[in-house]
A and B are shown apart, each in its own frame.
Chain A
Amino acid sequence: MIETSQTLLKTCFADYHRQHGAKMVDFAGWEMPLHYTAGIVAEHNHTRRAMSIFDVSHMGRLKITGKGAQDLLEHLCTRKIAHFNPGRSGYSLLCNEQGGVLDDIIVSRFERHWLIVCNASNREKVIQWLQQHAAPFDARIEDETFSTAMVSVQGPKAIEYLDGVLPEPPSAIKRYHFQVQNYLIASFTVFRSGYTGEDGVEIICGKNVAQMAVNFLAKSGDEKPDGLKPAGLGARDTLRLEAGMPLYGHELTESIDPISAGLDWAVARDKFFVGSEAIERIRLRVPERLRLGLEISGQRIARQGTKIKNINGVEIGEITSGTLSPTLQKVIAMGYVQPEYVTVGTQVLVDIRGTDTPARVVALPFYRR
């Protein structure tokens, strides 16, 4: 099923991307739109001002069935999930025994099964991790990534607009909840969540109805100034960065634990899970580094791997993501530094390709709606 050649995987929306002038790039083995004709900054601004639709079908969708599905997930997720009622979703991490982050995921409870949405780049690793631990639990893992499609509709106008378009109004769905909606022969699972810092939904549907679903969603017409317009992965990245959200491979890796990443809130203290003992030990000592936000002077972007120094020029950490924030019109970045430097207002230096550039520690998120 997994293509091992150079051929990139394509989502159901390849035609849609082409029609909208997308620049396609390789992302985790998928051919995905980086941006459309409007460009990253315009797509970003449109999402903050009105609403955008993102193809996120590359993300892994894993169905967990069987009597032991819940116990398997409770055994692996850092977040407590046993109390989830059907229709509830939650952000969680999967960690290895050392407490390193394997992936960050959304776990959802359906009537008869559970669903994990994971990062595209980690899908195979997560499947393997689940299977490796499934044996004692009577749980089966089905990869639904290739039989389904997923889009995200985000922005201040999204919910009001979708109330008039979807079979059931999404305004009735609480944040981090979802609803299965049926329209003719098609079934849509509508999640009130997203990765932009805006209100909105993420919708999963069968591959066979995906094209129809997008035409249906986009019927307001791209030509209206506040209409639903496509946005690519470039805008998705700048939006999540402004919202202070971590991205796997940048703020999260197997050598970073959830406490250093500032994700304590997603880690239960009253249950066992794989990695919990290591994380308890990590909680008791002063961390070597902590995630932080920086506002950098000037216009040059500090990208992943850029060294952070204290005002005396001593290296104290590294940038993990950086961009010119379209909303704030400032260069922003996330990274990790030694804990004594994370206080908001601390002055540091960022070595942008040989030039020590002044920066200031600021609170995350950079942008709040």
Chain B
Amino acid sequence: MPSPSDRRYTESHEWIKTDGDQLIVGVTQFAVNALSDVTYAALPAVGKTFGAGDVFGEVESVKATSELYLPVAGTITAVNTAVANDPALLNTDPYEAGWLVKIKPAAADLSGLMDAAEYDAKHPV
């Protein structure tokens, strides 16, 4: 299945979707497949500020631990507690119910990131 075309993608397998003046961040199906069953997700506190490229959390499966990178600078405005409580949500629905954080970006320029077609060409599921 192609990745949703309503968002942008990073080399480190995060997706970023515009939501008004905020951005929603999650991880891709490709990343979830590579991890297999996700057992744990560590997410930052609301209000925390990160620079572009900073580690903002980690997801972990039986086999591997993977750090999460924020592609743009910003401040965390919301955290998906449903994922923190039930990390398996990432396996079943990484693009909707499995979103990770919302941020208020310092600048709203996502042009450096890949679109779905570019990402899928590079990382076919």
Contacts and interface: CB of A to CB of B under 8 A. Distances in A.
Interface of A: 23, 34-35, 39-42, 234, 238, 299-301, 303, 323-324, 326, 353
Given A40-B37, A40-B61, A301-B62, 9 more contacts: A23-B33, A35-B36, A234-B62, A299-B40, A300-B60, A301-B39, A301-B65, A303-B65, A324-B40
B63 A34 contact: yes
A41 B40 contact: no
A10 B98 CA distance: 36
Nearest to A38: B37
B36 A34 contact: yes
7 closest A-B pairs by beta carbon, nearest first, are A299-B40, A324-B39, A41-B37, A39-B37, A40-B62, A40-B36, A40-B37
A34 B37 CA distance: 12
B45 to A, nearest CB: 15
Nearest to B63: A234
In the complex, which of the residues B36, B42, B91 has the most CB atoms of chain A within 10 Å of its own CB atom?
B36
Nearest to B39: A324
Contacts of B37: 39-42
A323 B65 CA distance: 11
A34 B87 CA distance: 20
A301 B36 contact: no
In the complex, which of the residues B42, B60, B62, B63 has the most CB atoms of chain A within 10 Å of its own CB atom?
B62
B11 to A, nearest CB: 21
Contacts of B61: 40
Interface string B34-68: 00110110100000000000000010111101000
- Chain B: interface size category: 10 to 19
A324 B42 CA distance: 15
Contacts, number: 41
A304 to B, nearest CB: 12
A324 B87 CA distance: 13
Nearest to B87: A299
A319 B12 CA distance: 28
Contacts of A35: 36
A41 B42 contact: no
Given A41-B62, A323-B62, A301 B91 contact: no
A234 B36 contact: yes
A302 to B, nearest CB: 10
Contacts of A39: 36-37, 91
Given A234-B62, A238-B62, A300 B42 contact: yes
A81 to B, nearest CB: 36
Contacts of A41: 37, 39, 62
Contacts of B91: 39
Nearest to B41: A299
Contact of B60 (A34, A234, A301, A326): A301
A322 to B, nearest CB: 10
A300 B58 CA distance: 10
A309 B58 CA distance: 23
A222 B97 CA distance: 30
Contacts of A324: 39-40, 62
A303 B61 CA distance: 11
B62 A299 contact: no
Contacts of A301: 39-40, 60, 62, 65
B31 to A, nearest CB: 14
Contacts of B63: 34, 40, 234
In the complex, which of the residues B40, B63, B87 has the most CB atoms of chain A within 10 Å of its own CB atom?
B63
A232 B91 CA distance: 18
Contacts of B36: 23, 34-35, 39-40, 234
A23 B32 CA distance: 13
A299 B42 CA distance: 10
Interface string B94-125: 00000000000000000000000000000000
Nearest to B84: A299
A35 B33 CA distance: 11
20 contacts: A23-B33, A23-B36, A40-B36, A40-B37, A40-B61, A40-B62, A40-B63, A41-B62, A234-B62, A234-B63, A299-B39, A300-B40, A300-B42, A300-B60, A301-B39, A301-B60, A301-B62, A323-B62, A324-B40, A353-B58
